[in-house]
């Protein structure tokens, strides 16, 4: 059979595919953009492998659609079970390529299994940032009914140069912990079964080439359970390449595929970049252009104050107004009323589902509070948790069948609550009615949408129901911003981000923890969607006491907010916080539109991040431990024009202890003039000896 070679080109990326009509499809090149006129057949020939002794006579190549045929022992991309005879096990498939369409940066490939009457269509499209978007569609034009046990979203033969793997694990208040490992012979196969991606970030991956530093990032854009696999060809059955597969997991994976029907998977994305900073920039460009709803129309990201850490459930109209007045004096721009405003919600064991303003807390309704917030120059936001219901609630007493449950069995709770069945139209209709009513009755600019419980028992179509409710509310109230929270970072992905305006990376506001959490999330997500708040001291989760200067500087790198009571701060702390809020407002245009760079440092306890945009740059450099040396290595910057000159300053206030070790403070206030080459090669010597020290570095490119 004749093989045809086609190429897809981005700005800096080329993919070369080998397509064999009546046979298979394979990815034979994935790398930097090739010159025009490159002989694609020669590209394939240069990496072809000869047969060795322990292979089948015709060595199998899993390619873009791995199957359990021809001797390949990895996981098939499509797993079908005969609905009429499920005990017979997996139905063996034999998909053959029947068609393909190619346009600029966009290819659709179709396979068909004639004996089963099953078809599969895969589409890859190169998007903004040279990010490749992948989808897969399975159809049944035969006569049998199948259960689709596994359906791929992304199948990617991994170029052999990528032998390192960075994965992300975590827990509540400790999300996105990076682990780098070699590509192990036994592969990699995480999955979630909690009804959401979970705290571990298992549907975010980074592969790397340890010889050159090149990286490949991949992600399943889905807010429910996932299944990710890397099968390594350890026995040399194929050509030695590993295969990455990303798919919807859990209950949602066992769909029934009837004759005449078809099923679509979620989207997945992958991107290639020369280093981790470039990968972040590519994914941020894609998110801003293709994922975030109407991102180009967003205004400045307003500074929040959330009432939770200040007041908890101790709510009253007078207390909230006093908190709002304190917030306004700091320069806060949005006041968010958290949990406890509805029904009989005086603790976390009651009233979820009863989305009516509590007359006990607000005898005059929300109107007076909202009016005072507006008088103070802020807009108003509200916390909700629509997908949940408390057993002690009017909603549950009226509709006990609306929750996820198995009839006749116990209904175990988590955090004293049950999950509503979002696949049911009547549930979504009720929730839309209540939320729509709140938004029509009150001037609410922002919803903090929480999801604090794992889904057990799980149910298919739960995620689609969540999406449908979000989309209906956004259509009815397009100017209302929505934050997605799930006990912090339990449900963060491009699927939910295509429907909301920001996410809550972690319930842990401890600034030292956030110096790990925010850099990990910002590998994939731009800073403007990552809620980053100044928490109280001592921190309610870690118990750690941190100076306001340190907490405020760390919180600037994200969508800044405050989750603490200003009345409990000293005058100096309020002054320091207000100064940093003013700095954030001055620099948020750079932070939220620019290119993010990771700053490496020889001290592993120093974290550095830097954003460049239109001739300006702002960097954060933070030390979390007591340095073993007095004179820490200079901080080398990134992303600058080596030939350009920059005015460099250290925005005040400076860290109280460290500022005493700064050489020539007045010169720093006036600004140093240095070339981009000097800043990136030699760097800046800053006092980074003491723990909990953070510096801001501001740069402005000077005219030539």
- Among all residues, which ones are annotated catalytic? 450, 507
The secondary structure of 466-501 as a DSSP string is: HHHHHHHHHHH-TT-EEEE-BTBBSS-SHHHHTT-S
Measured CA distances, 407 to 354, 401, 454, 615 (Å) = 24, 9, 19, 63
Runs of H (alpha helix) within 477-626? 494-497, 511-521, 548-556, 571-591
CA 460, CA 467: separation in Å to the nearest integer?
13
Strands (E), 600-669: 606-613, 616-623, 645-649
Report helix, strand or coil for 609. Answer: strand
Both structure tokens of 276: 């981790």
Half-sphere exposure of 114 (CA within 13 A, CB side): 5
CA 357, CA 484: separation in Å to the nearest integer?
22
Among 610, 548, 620, CA closest to 580: 548
In degrees and rounded to multiples of 5, residue 615 shows phi and psi of 85, 0
Runs of H (alpha helix) within 411-461? 425-441
Both structure tokens of 394: 């009017």
CA 352, CA 388: separation in Å to the nearest integer?
6
In degrees and rounded to multiples of 5, residue 193 shows phi and psi of -135, 30
The DSSP code for 303 is P
Q: How far is CA 655 from the centre of its chain?
A: 31
In degrees and rounded to multiples of 5, residue 429 shows phi and psi of -65, -40
Among 25, 451, 432, 412, CA closest to 196: 451
The secondary structure of 121-148 as a DSSP string is: EEEEEE-GGGPEEEEEEEEE-SSS-EEE
Tell me how many degrees the CA angle 138-142-147 measures, rounded to the nearest 5.
55
Report helix, strand or coil for 26. Answer: strand
Half-sphere exposure of 194 (CA within 13 A, CB side): 18
Report helix, strand or coil for 415. Answer: coil
Both structure tokens of 391: 């057993």
Runs of H (alpha helix) within 276-393? 276-286, 308-311, 317-330, 367-375
Computed on alpha carbons and rounded to an integer, the radius of gyration of the chain in Å comes to: 27
Both structure tokens of 232: 């390594």
């Amino acid at each position: 059979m004749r093989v045809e070679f086609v190429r897809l080109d981005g700005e800096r990326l080329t993919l070369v595919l080998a397509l064999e009509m009546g046979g298979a499809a394979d990815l034979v090149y994935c790398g930097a953009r090739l010159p025009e006129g490159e002989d694609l057949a020669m590209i394939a020939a240069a990496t072809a492998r000869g047969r060795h002794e322990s292979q089948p006579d015709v060595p199998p190549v899993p390619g873009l659609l791995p199957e359990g045929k021809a001797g390949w022992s990895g996981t098939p991309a499509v797993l079908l079970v005969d609905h009429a005879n499920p005990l017979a096990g997996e139905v063996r498939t034999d998909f053959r390529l029947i068609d393909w369409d190619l346009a600029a940066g966009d290819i659709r490939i179709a396979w068909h299994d004639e004996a089963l009457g099953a078809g599969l269509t895969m589409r890859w499209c190169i998007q903004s940032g040279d990010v490749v978007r992948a989808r897969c569609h399975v159809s049944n034009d035969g006569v049998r009914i199948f259960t689709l046990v596994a359906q791929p979203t992304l199948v990617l033969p991994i170029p052999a140069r990528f032998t390192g793997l960075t994965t992300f694990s975590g827990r509540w208040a400790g999300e996105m912990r990076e682990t780098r490992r070699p590509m192990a012979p036994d592969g990699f196969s995480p999955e979630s079964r909690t009804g959401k991606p979970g705290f571990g970030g298992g549907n975010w991956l980074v592969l790397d080439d340890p010889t050159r530093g090149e990286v490949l990032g991949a992600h399943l854009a889905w807010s429910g359970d996932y299944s990710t696999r890397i099968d390594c060809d350890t026995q040399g059955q194929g050509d030695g390449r590993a295969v990455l597969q990303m798919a919807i997991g859990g209950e949602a994976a066992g769909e029934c595929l009837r004759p005449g029907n078809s099923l679509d998977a979620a989207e997945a994305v992958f991107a290639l970049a020369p280093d981790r900073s470039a990968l972040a920039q590519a994914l941020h460009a894609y998110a801003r252009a293709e994922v975030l709803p109407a991102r180009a129309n967003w205004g400045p990201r307003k500074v929040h104050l959330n009432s939770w850490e200040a007041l908890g459930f101790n709510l009253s109209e007078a207390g909230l107004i006093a908190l709002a007045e304190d917030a306004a004096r700091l320069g806060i721009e949005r006041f968010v009323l958290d949990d406890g405003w509805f029904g009989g919600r005086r603790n976390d064991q009651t009233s979820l589902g009863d989305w009516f303003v509590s007359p006990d807390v607000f005898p005059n309704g929300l109107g007076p509070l909202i009016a005072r917030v507006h008088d103070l120059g802020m807009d108003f936001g509200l916390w909700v948790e629509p997908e949940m219901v408390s057993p002690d609630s009017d909603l549950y007493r009226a509709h006990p069948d609306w929750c996820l449950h198995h009839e006749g069995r116990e209904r175990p709770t988590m955090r004293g609550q049950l999950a509503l069945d979002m696949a049911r139209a009547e549930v979504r209709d009720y929730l839309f009615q209540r939320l729509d009513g709140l938004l029509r009755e009150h001037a609410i600019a922002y919803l903090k949408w929480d999801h604090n419980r794992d889904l057990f028992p799980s149910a298919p179509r739960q995620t689609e129901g969540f999406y449908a409710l979000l989309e209906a509310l956004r259509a009815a109230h397009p100017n209302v911003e929505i934050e997605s929270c799930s006990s912090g970072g339990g449900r963060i992905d491009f699927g939910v981000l295509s429907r909301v305006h920001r996410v809550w990376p972690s319930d842990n506001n401890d600034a030292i923890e956030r110096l790990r959490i925010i850099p990990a999330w910002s590998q994939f997500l731009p800073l403007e969607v990552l809620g980053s708040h100044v928490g109280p001291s001592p921190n309610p989760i870690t118990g750690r006491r941190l100076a306001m200067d340190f907490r405020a500087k760390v919180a600037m790198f994200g969508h800044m907010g405050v989750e603490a009571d200003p009345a409990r701060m000293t005058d100096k702390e309020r002054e320091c916080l207000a100064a940093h809020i003013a700095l954030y407002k001055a620099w948020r245009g750079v932070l939220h539109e620019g290119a993010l760079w990771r700053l490496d440092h020889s001290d592993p306890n120093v974290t550095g991040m830097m954003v460049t945009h239109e001739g300006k740059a702002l960097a954060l450099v933070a030390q979390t431990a007591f340095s073993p040396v007095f004179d820490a290595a200079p901080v080398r910057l990134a992303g600058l024009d080596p030939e350009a000159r920059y005015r460099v300053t250290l925005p005040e206030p400076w860290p109280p202890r460290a500022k005493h070790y700064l050489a020539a403070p007045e010169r720093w206030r006036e600004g140093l003039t240095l070339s981009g080459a000097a800043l990136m090669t030699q760097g800046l010597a800053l006092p980074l000896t003491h723990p909990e020290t953070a510096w801001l570095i501001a740069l402005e490119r000077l005219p030539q």
